[in-house]
Structure 1
Amino acid sequence: MRSLNLVGNTFGCSASGERLVSAARDGDFQEAKALLEYNPRLAKYATFGGRNSPLHHSAAQGHHEIVSLLIESGVDINLKNYRGQTALMQACQYGHWEVVLTLVLFKANIHKTDCLNGGTALHLAALNGHACCIRILLADYIPSISSFYKLVKKKSRFQEFVSESNDGTSLHEIINRPADGGVTALHMAALNGHVDSLCLLLDLGASVNEVTLEDGATIDLIGAGSTPLHYAAYGGNPHCCQILIARGASLTAENEKGWSPLEVARLWHREWLEEVLSAHQQDRTITLPSPYLSLPLMSVVKIARECGWTSDSLSNCTDPCPVCLENKCTVAASGCLHELCTRCALYLCSTSNTSSAAHAPPGSIACPLCRHSIVSFKKLTTTKPQLQLLKQNSSLSCCSCSSMPRIDTPTMQQRIPLSKKKPASQSLNFHKFTTLKLDNNLCLRGTDTIASIVRRSHINRYPRSSFRWSSSHVKGRRSWLCTSNQSVESPGDY
């Protein structure tokens, strides 16, 4: 009988959890909401065998509404899956910026590293070229001040403004944090030819002189001591090489194998880089500020955390948000003082990728109503803080059966109509099946490339990179440094 109770208890824990996992994966918000209203502890459910939780599934698929619903139900926002990745890492890997924004608003930890390669969410965003995710990740580290770009460029008094945040980590440390083998986010963006991410990282203080290390499990065919320019030469993107050179990358730097960036290009037959990596061509390009830099983001994120980012009702509002016409105005733009709702302000700061006006500070966002440059947002006097802040509960590997009802009547027939809402006072029911009285003590717990170069003569005649990779075990296991459509090659492949 004890064995029978154990089996029944396991089924009771997993049946609803599996339904929630399927709903999170498929984006079925009504199904997920109904299940969580019935048992909020299902948000902490993780399938047996160490697979992804509902939070990881919804983050990987880009279902930000379900992510928000799961967090409000008490799931650990920094829970790791079987690969050691958090939901934030998976959202950055697939470029779901709305999920990233939701997790950042709930203060997800951006410093968590995976168990395989020591990479953070920033490394994964740079690896796949998701510049929008990069700027949202760093929203708490880029102050909403008009002089930010000048301070980074001149590197004077920079640390005075952005040296430390609430967690005591500086922006410089985050941007240049090495993963396995000393690889930084700039190395990854340069290798895979992501110009927009490369420019943004450089504008935020990424160092062009960081080198890789010899130790580490990541296979590095280029060699230890390689700079981002070595990686860009290996990747074969001339735009990345030009930008790095214009930002001070050395053309003569040699790695521990004695290879310069030009020799790396020759070894892997990137003939179109010969002219770009020649010393006499290093002063012919001028770079522009990245249009993905968003200065107002920090100010509106702080307001959203304090006062929320949704409006309950417009019944008493005579002047709704002029952009969405759905929510109350809660913030005002600096300068022009046009009023918007917090949700529209967040969307504007997260999606804008157009250059500001000629005389506007780099990183400012154009007002959608008058095109005036916005550097920060301020809270309206009528905007009140939230009465009750969301509380994060500790994580569990499986849902607790203590909140599951005991079913003593085997003839009970129950269903969940998901097509329309049920009042909170009504219980949610499941399909009929043979029931067992469960013993709680036996529960098993188990993007588009930007035009960043003003003068780039001869670029159009360069052919596209022939960057290909081999899948054989002899040439090395699949490197996490490369995007999903690439694998590793060696000079001997030619």
Structure 2
Amino acid sequence: MGQGLSCRTTHENGLFTAVQFGDSDTVQTLLERDQTLIHQTTVYDRHSALHIAAANGQIEIVSMLLNRSVNPDLLNRYKQTPLMLAAMHGRISCVQKLIQTGANILMFDSLNGRTCLHYAAYYGHSDCLQAILSAAQSSRVAASWGFTRFVNIRDGKGATPLHLAARQRRPECVHILLDNGALVCASTGGYGFTGKHSTSLSC
């Protein structure tokens, strides 16, 4: 039993390394050898292969995993989805692929209570931000939540994507959000942030 566990762990490490560096041939070989590896996660952060592929912009592997019916909304230790990590790291092709496959844009992590929209705005990835907003206009989010409500969604400390973009000095994201109906609110409480920051960047 111990030897089998050791071998399994070796396969896991090999899979995650191959995913990180975009070695699709090795990924395919490992998954064909042991299909259960597709459900494994890293020990501490509980990142799946899809999380790692999305965060590193490995679109070929993202597509391979999704074609194997991997859930696009898998959660890591902090309840972050692959879409959140792709938006966080500015991996636009992965963001688009995940959205096309049905990834839920209205999920909140447990770290900051943020969505993929918050992360795209915070890190200044305007292309990812626009892709998520476009998806929101044509997805069930628009019908169930309302597009304007989604654009102004607050994180765990009360900050909207606009507040985060302005606070991090991401003028392009600020403009995109304002053009899509983001509201310049008076305060976000937990951040001590006022609308003045947003208007100063929107000029």
- CA drift of 1:210 comes to 5.2
Report Cα offsets for 1:288-340 as digits up to 9, x if no partner: xxxxxxxxxxxxxxxxxxxxxxxxxxxxxxxxxxxxxxxxxxxxxxxxxxxxx
Residue in 2 aligned with 1:16? 11
| 1:100 and 2:95 aligned | yes
Normalised TM-score (structure 1): 0.39
Give, in angstroms, the shift of residue 141 of structure 1. Answer: 3.0
| SS state at 2:202 partner | helix
2:181 maps to: 205
Distance 1:41 1:65, change over 3 A: same
The change in CA–CA distance for 1:164 and 1:36 in structure 2 (over 3 A counts) is closer
Displacement after TM superposition at 1:39 (Å) = 3.1
**Structure 2 residue 57 is matched with structure 1 residue 62:** yes
Name which of 113, 119, 144 aligns with 2:114.
119
The secondary structure found in structure 2 opposite 1:46 is coil
Pairing 1:36-75 to 2, within 5 Å after superposition: 36-75=31-70
Q: Which runs of 4+ in 1 moved over 4 A?
A: none
For the Cα contact (< 8 Å) 2:166–2:174, is it kept in 1? yes
- Could you tell me how far 1:242 is from its partner in structure 2? 5.5
Judge conservation of contact 2:53–2:62 (CA < 8 Å) in 1: yes
1:165 is the counterpart of 2:124:
no
Counterpart of 2:130 in structure 1 is 135
Task: Choose the corresponding residue for 2:27, options 18, 26, 32.
Answer: 32
Give % identity.
Answer: 32
Aligned partner of 1:89 in structure 2 is 84
* Structure 1 vs Structure 2 CA RMSD: 2.2
The Cα offsets for residues 406-432 of structure 1, whole Å up to 9 and x where unpaired, read as xxxxxxxxxxxxxxxxxxxxxxxxxxx
Matched residue, 1:156: none
Distance 2:98 2:186 in 1: 30
Select which of 155, 161, 180 maps to 1:185: 161
- AA matched with 2:29: A
Q: Provide the residue aligned with 1:438 in structure 2.
A: none
1:245-394 correspondence runs (5 A):
none
Structure 1 34/228 Cα, relative in aligned 2: closer, same or farther at 3 Å?
A: farther
Higher RCO (C-alpha 8 Å, min separation 6): 1
Structure 1 residues not aligned, in runs of 5+: 144-161, 215-219, 233-239, 245-494
- 1:194 and 1:30 mapped to 2: Cα distance? 38
| 1:140–1:165 CA contact under 8 A, matched in 2 | no
Distance 1:210 1:113, change over 3 A: farther
Q: Deviations over 1:430-476 (max 9, x none)?
A: xxxxxxxxxxxxxxxxxxxxxxxxxxxxxxxxxxxxxxxxxxxxxxx
Asked whether the 8 Å contact 2:171–2:201 carries over to 1, the reply is: no
Aligned residue-pair number: 203
Q: 1:227 aligns with which of 184, 187, 194?
A: 194
Amino acid at match of 2:51: H
Q: Using the alignment, how far apart are the partners of 2:201 and 2:46 within structure 1?
A: 43
In 1, Cα distance between equivalents of 2:165 and 2:73: 25
The amino acid across from 1:228 in the alignment is G
SS at match of 2:84: helix
Preserved contact between residue 40 and residue 74 of structure 1 (Cα < 8 Å)? no
CA contact (8 A) 2:95 2:128 kept: yes
Q: Is residue 243 from structure 1 mapped to residue 194 from structure 2 by the alignment?
A: no
TM-score by length of 2: 0.90
* Displacement of 1:54: 1.3
- Code of the residue aligned with 2:135 in structure 1: it is D
Q: Write the letter of the residue equivalent to 2:202.
A: I
